[in-house]
Amino acid sequence: MTRPSPPPDTPVLPAHDPDALDQAVRILKAGGCVAVPTETVYGLACDATNPKAVAGVYEAKGRPSFNPLICHVDTLERAHSLIKLDDQGLALAERFWPGPLTLVGPKRTPSPVSDLAAAGLDSLAVRTPRSEALRTLVQRLDAPLAAPSANASGAISPTTAEHVKDSLNGRIHLILDGGPCKVGVESTIVSLLDPAQPVILRPGGVSRENLETVCGVLAQQTRANHSAPTAPGQLTSHYAPNASVRLNATQPVANEAFLGLGTQPKGDDVVFFDLSPDGDLVEAAANLFTGLRWLDRVSDRIAVAPIPETGLGEAINDRLRRAAAER
Ligand code: TXA
Ligand code: MG
């Protein structure tokens, strides 16, 4: 079957509307792609078992094809049919799914998932999202949905339907609008490939402290212990605004806009965005990409307040370091 080409003006429909979900199912079955809200960021979903559909997602995003996609599922059973979950994996899944945690495990063979979605690896990243819409679509397709964040490759992840439309209008078939994402940063990715030592490949929506209550001390992937670019942590400049980004700034200097955390910049004419007036890191994570996008529109230099490295601060700092990286 040939893949339908996307309409020049991508429609945006409410995610809870049964007719919109029917339409999404038709598009996905035909090999198209649909932006779907999740609790972390909007995902660009396609049928993970259909290589042409997966190719369409890479094409729409302009993504380097070595970067494998996360497979989204509706149940633990479906996850377990795709990867082998050991006791530790099962404990993590039972505690944090549905939720912002992705588990990388050994891929079962034969696998229904196309090699293109897994980027030819023997492992697979799987997550059960909180998103009702996404889980319903998986169930109705009876197949895992591969879904990277619904933005052009290298750009800031979308946390509203409007962000998706700005980035991918005319390149994708449909956008389901579920309002702003509650978590606002991507899922935490944990690799279970070494049963003796689970590793955080990417900090995200579940904090290290929370994970460690279930599985003991987690290692953090570094360039030194992993040379292949398998997680966005390996792509230095990944969350890139157009503006330059200066980190750990207590105050903005001339011509800088300010991304703060419960702190007001001095001076009346400084453009600033407060991630959380109370300094709450959960609220700050939810506002991060919206704040970065907004400041990026109004200024070409952004100074960022210091963010504590605790809880979701680890994920926020990871994204900010990448936004500040040389390009
Ligand atoms: O919250 C999220 O995780 C969002 C929502 C839509 O679910 N998705 C997301 O997908 O952030 P994406 O494609 O932007 O980032 C997923 C990352 C990829 O960059 C890839 O490096 C890593 O997951 N990944 C996927 N499969 C992997 C594997 N087998 N081993 C190691 N890393 C993997
Ligand atoms: Mg992404």
* Residue 321 near residue 216 (C-beta atoms within 8 A): no
Q: Supply the pLDDT for residue 320.
A: 93
- Specify the ligand 1 atom closest to the Cα of 187: 1
Answer with the residue of higher pLDDT: 35 or 2: 35
pLDDT of residue 3: 65
Q: Is any ligand 1 atom within 6 A of the Cβ of residue 160?
A: no
- pLDDT tens, position by position, 226-259: 444 455 444 455 567 899 999 999 999 989 999 9
- Edge-first strand order for the sheet with 123-127 is 12-14, 174-177, 34-36, 43-47, 145-146, 70-72, 123-127, 101-106, 188-191, 199-202, 219-220
Structure tokens of 4? 């339908």
| Average pLDDT for 262-279 | 91
50 lines ligand 1 (CB under 6 A): no
Query: Of ligand 1's atoms, which has the minimum distance to the CA of residue 124?
Result: 29
What average pLDDT does the segment 13-26 reach? 98
Tokens found for residue 296? 């990026």
149 lines ligand 1 (CB under 6 A): yes
pLDDT given at position 224: 46
Q: Which one is predicted more confidently, 16 or 223?
A: 16
Query: What average pLDDT does the structure give for the chain?
Result: 91
Cβ-contact 302, 199 below 8 angstroms: no
Amino acid at 306: P
Q: Which atom of ligand 1 is nearest to the CA of 125?
A: 26
CA–centroid distance, 241 to ligand 1, in Å, is: 20
Closest CA to 32 of 52, 14, 12, 61: 52
Q: What is the DSSP string of 293-306?
A: HHHHHH-SEEEE--
Model pLDDT, residue 189: 97
Predicted confidence at residue 186, as pLDDT, reads 96
pLDDT tens digit string along 162-198? 999 999 999 999 999 999 999 999 999 999 999 889 9
The per-residue pLDDT for range 108-154, each reduced to its tens digit, is 999 999 988 888 889 999 999 999 999 999 999 999 999 999 999 88
pTM: 0.87
Q: Using most ligand atoms within 8 A of CB, pick from 69, 121, 181 the residue to mutate for ligand 1.
A: 69
**260 vs 282 pLDDT, higher one:** 260
More confident residue, 156 or 39: 39
Is the C-beta atom of 234 inside 6 A of ligand 1? no
In which band, very low, low, confident or very high, does the pLDDT at 55 lie, cut at 50, 70 and 90? confident
Q: Is 243 in the pocket of ligand 1 (CB under 6 A)?
A: no
CB within 8 Å of 24: residues ≥ 6 apart: 34, 36, 133, 137, 174, 176
CA–CA separation, 6 vs 4, rounded Å?
6
Residue percentage of the chain with pLDDT more than 90: 74
Identify the pLDDT of residue 145.
98
